[in-house]
Homo-oligomer: A and B are copies of this chain.
Amino acid sequence: MTRAAQAERTRAAILTTARRLFATHGYDATSLHTIADEMDVTKANVYYYFRTKTAILEALLDNSVTYFDPLLTETAQLKGKRARAEHLVAGFVDQVVANRALSPLGQTHPSVRRNERINAEPARLATTAMRLLYGDEPTDDQRAAWFLASDVGPVVAGLPHLTHDELREVLRRLCLRVLRV
């Protein structure tokens, strides 16, 4: 394996491992030592790829943004609130299920919320999504519905026995019911 390929491998492994541990134990309760140990490298090696712990979190959120941006663009091209809700929910749920064992790192997480810079992009995406579903001036009930539906982590955690397909269907029905106020 070339050195460049090895580098890409390690970098990706750090992100995967970090994401899993952040989701399980929380960002603050996960030390770089733990991340490194889990993938059988040293802490110093992790620092070779990410200058700070925060940088790892930022990289993870960038991945989310990269996924949701095109989804929102597609959704905007559909006509009718019903069709938009269905497309948006389907895309959202697919990503949640795909990262099931990892669980999503939502805007809710204190580690995300307290960093202005990290928080900016996800907040922008949330605003855009609400516009698509509810127009320029969502009611408080609509905004509440959005905040609830975008945080399905506890639901995923509560239903570990479902297959991926079952979970996907449950989440789709649930989110659509919540969002169509």
Q: Which residues of A contact B (CB under 8 A)?
A: 24-26, 28-29, 106-111, 113-114, 140-141, 143-155, 157-159, 162, 166, 170-171, 173-174, 177-178, 181
Contact = CB atoms under 8 A, between A and B. Distances in A.
A159 B139 CA distance: 11
A38 to B, nearest CB: 16
Given A25-B114, A26-B28, A177-B178, A170 B158 contact: no
Residue among A26, A106, A178 with most chain B CB within 10 A: A26
A143 B113 CA distance: 28
Contact of A154 (B111, B151, B171): B151
B141 A173 contact: yes
A71 B148 CA distance: 24
Residue among A113, A147, A154, A155 with most chain B CB within 10 A: A154
A178 B110 CA distance: 25
A9 to B, nearest CB: 28
A158 B143 contact: yes
A174 B28 contact: no
Nearest to A150: B154
